[in-house]
Amino acid sequence: MTDFSQAAGSRNGGLDLGRLLLEGRAFFALIAIIVIFSILSPVYFSVDNFLTMSSHVAIFGLLSIGMLLVILTGGIDLSVGSTLGFAGVFAGFLMQGVSFEIFGVVVYPPVWAVVILTCAMGAFVGAINGVLIAYFKVPAFVATLGMLYVARGVALLMTDGLTYNNLGGSPELGNTGFDWLGFNRLFGIPVGVLVLALVAIVALLALTRTPFGRWVYSTGGNARAAELSGVPVKRVQVSVYVLSGICAAIAGLVLSSQLTSAGPTAGTTYELTAIAGVVIGGAALTGGRGNVRGTLLGAFVIGFLSDGLVIIGVSSYWQTVFTGAVIVLAVLLNSIQYSGRKKRSTPSDGTASSPQREAKSRGAEPAAESTAVNPASQS
Amino acid sequence: MTDESAMSHNDDTPREDVAGEAILSARHVAKSFGNVHALKAVNFDVHRGQVTTLFGENGAGKSTLMKILSGVIRPTSGEILLEGRAVSFASTSEAQRLGISIIHQELSLAPNLSVRDNIFMGRELGGSTGVDYAEEERQTRLLMEELDEPIDPLTPVEELRLGQQQIVEIARALSANSRILIMDEPTSALSATEVEVLFRVIRDLKQRGVSIVYISHHLEEALTITDHAVVLRDGIMTAYAPRRDIDLEWIVRNMVGEGFDLGSPPTGYGMGDVALSLREVSVPDATVPGRSAVDHLSLDVRAGEIVCIYGLMGAGRTELLESIAGRIPLTDGEVVLDGNDVSRLSIAERIDQGLVLVPEDRQRDGLVQTMSVGENLSLASIGAFTRGLFTSRRRESDVVASSIRNVHIKTDGGEASIGSLSGGNQQKVVIGKMLATSPRVVLLDEPSRGIDIGAKAEVFGLLSEGARQGLAVVFSTSEVGECLSIAHRVVVMSRGRIAAEFGTGATKEEIMAASGEAVVA
């Protein structure tokens, strides 16, 4: 969170309040939500409630971080909700034991193997998306929309529409511990929240401190320029969808652990919530702009808002209306911010660079009218 | 030709309605974009029923003047007289109502629609039951017959050859009752026979009293069709004369003038071995299937040498440079860098080997607008300051600071946004980014495009300095003056081949003659 004050403050020392509110809007929105609901309900402002709400946020947060990577490259991943559901069912399927009829054995993989296999499944789904988009030039919207249906359909096929309820495993089979993926608490904090924190830190480091992060931003900012600068644009595109798939798989594991059951319809429409989180966090859907901090704030805004509405007893229909309004408001503020940036930058740049420009045009005019001006004399 | 107008014609008030009289005039028209003065008090006459050609190098102000005459932009000062009356149009449609149409270099037809629908686009003829397609079709057929190009009105435009599409554009202008037709580089993409057809149409239009303003880089070709020549240079009209008084040499002399000193070839050091060698390189033309944009071209460039590639639009310069850099795959031939064939390598691998390209369009291909100056500068050399998984911020800021210093970027620092820089400084960012990779060969596609003359001189100074330190430099240009600045060798390209090569002693006239003569003999 230290970055936040930096980003808002470093540009120009004497910044006005409006600009501060605009740039830190997700942060202030979160504060406002917490304050308002704390006044409206006595139970809202408590450590226990925050932890409960945070474990709900963890699911959206994980999806949003994967979505952020994709959106930063200028793409979109509509398949994450389905991948989440598919991953839960896949994990449930593995927990029930995989029978190899040829050998007449049933293999019960330990939980760590279930986690790895499920993440690999998520990566595979993402890789299909990525390859379709990067190499076969299928528009991201269409490719991932197709995957939204396919992954959901496969999840339904795997269970015949039913839900896996016994994910606890048994000590004799050596596959207990599934509840440690999201349901249990470590140092009093839900494991799901810790998983989110871990993924967020990894994403933050990857985006800000590695070449990969720079490649992601440059691909979304201007893919042609990035390619000519030696950025492996296609591989970057495939990677972000793979990472998004893995994030969705992790979210699926956390969710089915929290619910102690894995249903094939879990995560329906979550992709839209994930996109909303990214957008509320200030990212541009055109790519190149956005960060992990904002996206986390966005996920918390949505999560704390909807849980708050539940706590004060607002009907779920109204919740939908509120959430939608918040998303539209966020996008509206985004466009104000980005168009404002352009308008603001021109006059302020003028003051910074106009002496030099004047010097140049002064140099150019006599050159045009008379002739030969020694270029060296200008610099 | 009946005109006894000659030089005195300039300040005429309208006279009787005869061919050759000025139908449309610009008086002291000036246009500034910020501090850039694109046009400075230009006087310009369009003669009734004749062809007036506007000559000038890139950036001389031709397009700006045409945009003012056709209502695309408004002049900063000065007035426009249409048949002696001052007019001012707020838009192209207003200009069109007054009978002035412009045909842009990039055609503005909807390729998916039919010829008929394109001609009446935005002016559909209403009938009692919606659009009167039958009447539109009849008029279209009539127009196309008049233009001697009997294309079926229902043919989709995308199925037509480029030359035919141009004629559809002309038909559209005529159907809007245009009396003045402005044509911006109409022949740049046409084959020789298509040019013949176009010229026949132009002569036809003259017969019908249509006045034509013609812009072309193909000087000889333009001389065969024009009745009057006007030359612009650096936003000023430098010369005017009727066709019978002028020749090619007169145009060239007035176009290029004495010029601005952009430096001279660096000397006083020995050149190294051949750094870049092109062997029979061929690249397909993206727009015309079956044609080659670059046709079995071979070229050697030595370390420390600066080679200028001159050519008109469509000569294949961009395709050549992009294929060397790896953006476009070769259909034939190989690119050899320091003795290694790099033709199969990706762009990133070629950059690693020391072969970099500074692209022509810096907004589209050079800069990432969402990133800061520093992030743009370090984008291509990111490996140099990465240790293990992570980039080192300290090393990166060193790279950025030294780039800003080395290429003289005027900026508030690496944190500044790209949009805050002037065009010349943005160009230096793109150059600095590629130089930060410590290349052996640097290719620059029109490095001076859209930057003012002072920045141009600085960019050329940078390239000279690089060459002195053993860099092989290849840059392309469409301004002949730039060939005679820092280049040790000038290679003239035409239709994808090398038309001529000159040393340092070449004249502008020789170079221009070598680039343009291949079109219409």
pLDDT at A200: 96
Q: How many domains does chain A have?
A: 1
pLDDT at B20: 63
d(C-alpha B42, C-alpha B29), whole Å: 5
Across the interface, whether the CB atoms of B380 and A361 are under 8 A apart is answered no
pTM passes above 0.95: no
Across the interface, whether the CB atoms of A288 and B371 are under 8 A apart is answered yes
- Considering CB atoms only, which of B259, B351, B420 is closest to A353? B420
Q: What is the pLDDT of residues B199-223, one digit of tens each?
A: 888 888 888 888 999 888 777 788 8
Q: How large a percentage of chain B has pLDDT more than 70?
A: 91
Pick the residue with more confidence: B455 or B23?
Answer: B23
d(C-alpha A324, C-alpha B215), whole Å: 54
Structural domain range at position A271: 46-345+355-365
For residues B430-442, give the mean pLDDT.
90
Which amino acid is located at A250 in the chain?
I
Q: What is the pLDDT of residues A207-229, one digit of tens each?
A: 998 999 999 999 999 998 999 98
- In a domain, residue A251? The reply is yes
pLDDT at B35: 59
Residues of A in contact with B370 (CB under 8 A): 217, 220-222, 284, 287-289
Shortest Cα distance, chain A CAs vs residue B449, angstroms: 15
Q: What is the pLDDT of residues A351-375, one digit of tens each?
A: 333 333 333 333 333 333 333 333 3
Place of tokens 């002949």: B480
Q: Is B71 left (phi over 0), alpha (psi -120 to 50) or beta?
A: left
- Size of chain B, expressed as the number of residues it contains: 521
Sign of CA dihedral B156, B158, B159, B162: positive
- In a domain, residue A34? The reply is no
pLDDT at A239: 96
Residues of A in contact with B325 (CB under 8 A): 228
- In a domain, residue A286? The reply is yes
Across the interface, whether the CB atoms of B454 and A211 are under 8 A apart is answered no
Checking if the pLDDT of A249 tops 60, the result is yes
| CA-based nearest residue in chain B for residue A215 | B379
Residues of A in contact with B234 (CB under 8 A): 367-368
Supply the CATH number for residue A339's domain. 1.10.3470
- The answer, for A368 touching chain B at a CB cutoff of 8 Å, is yes
Residues of A in contact with B479 (CB under 8 A): none
- In a domain, residue A41? The reply is no
- In a domain, residue A372? The reply is no
Across the interface, whether the CB atoms of B368 and A373 are under 8 A apart is answered no
pLDDT at A9: 37
For residues B347-367, give the mean pLDDT.
88
- In a domain, residue A321? The reply is yes
pLDDT at B10: 41
Shortest Cα distance, chain B CAs vs residue A204, angstroms: 12
For residues A186-191, give the mean pLDDT.
85
Q: Where does the pLDDT of residue A180 fall: very low under 50, low under 70, confident under 90, or very high at 90 and above?
A: confident
Across the interface, whether the CB atoms of A361 and B233 are under 8 A apart is answered no
Checking if the pLDDT of B517 tops 50, the result is no
- In a domain, residue A11? The reply is no
- In a domain, residue A12? The reply is no
| Chain centre distance of CA A332 | 19
Q: What is the pLDDT of residues B132-157, one digit of tens each?
A: 888 888 888 888 887 777 788 888 88
- The answer, for A364 touching chain B at a CB cutoff of 8 Å, is yes
pLDDT at A62: 95
For residues A317-339, b (16+ Cβ closer than 10 Å) or e, as one string? eebeeebeebbeebeebbeebee
Q: What is the dihedral of CA A169, A61, A307, A145, to 10 degrees?
A: -90
Question: Helices in A11-46 by DSSP H: which ranges?
Answer: 17-23, 25-40
Q: For residues B271 and B467, is the Cβ–Cβ distance under 8 A?
A: no
Q: Which residues contact A75 (CB under 8 A, 6 or more apart)?
A: A133, A140, A237, A240, A241, A287
Residues of A in contact with B259 (CB under 8 A): 371-372
Pick the residue with more confidence: B322 or A351?
Answer: B322
Q: For residues B440 and B305, is the Cβ–Cβ distance under 8 A?
A: no
Q: What is the ipTM of this complex?
A: 0.75
Checking if the pLDDT of A79 tops 90, the result is yes
Q: What is the pLDDT of residues B254-302, one digit of tens each?
A: 776 655 567 778 888 888 888 998 888 888 887 667 778 888 888 999 9
- Considering CB atoms only, which of A228, A232, A364 is closest to B453? A364
Neighbours of B192 (CB within 10 A): 12
Give the lowest-confidence range in B60-69, B311-320, B444-453: B444-453
Q: How large a percentage of chain A has pLDDT more than 70?
A: 83
pLDDT at A241: 96
Checking if the pLDDT of A91 tops 60, the result is yes
Mean pLDDT, all residues of chain B: 82
Q: Where does the pLDDT of residue B343 fall: very low under 50, low under 70, confident under 90, or very high at 90 and above?
A: confident
For residues B79-87, give the mean pLDDT.
85
pLDDT at A365: 35
- Considering CB atoms only, which of B34, B367, B391 is closest to A211? B391
Q: What is the pLDDT of residues B88-110, one digit of tens each?
A: 887 888 888 888 888 877 677 88
Across the interface, whether the CB atoms of B347 and A227 are under 8 A apart is answered yes
pLDDT at B45: 87
Q: Which residue in A10, A228, A371 has the most chain B C-beta atoms within 10 A of its own C-beta, making it the best mutation to test that interface?
A: A228
Across the interface, whether the CB atoms of B408 and A379 are under 8 A apart is answered yes
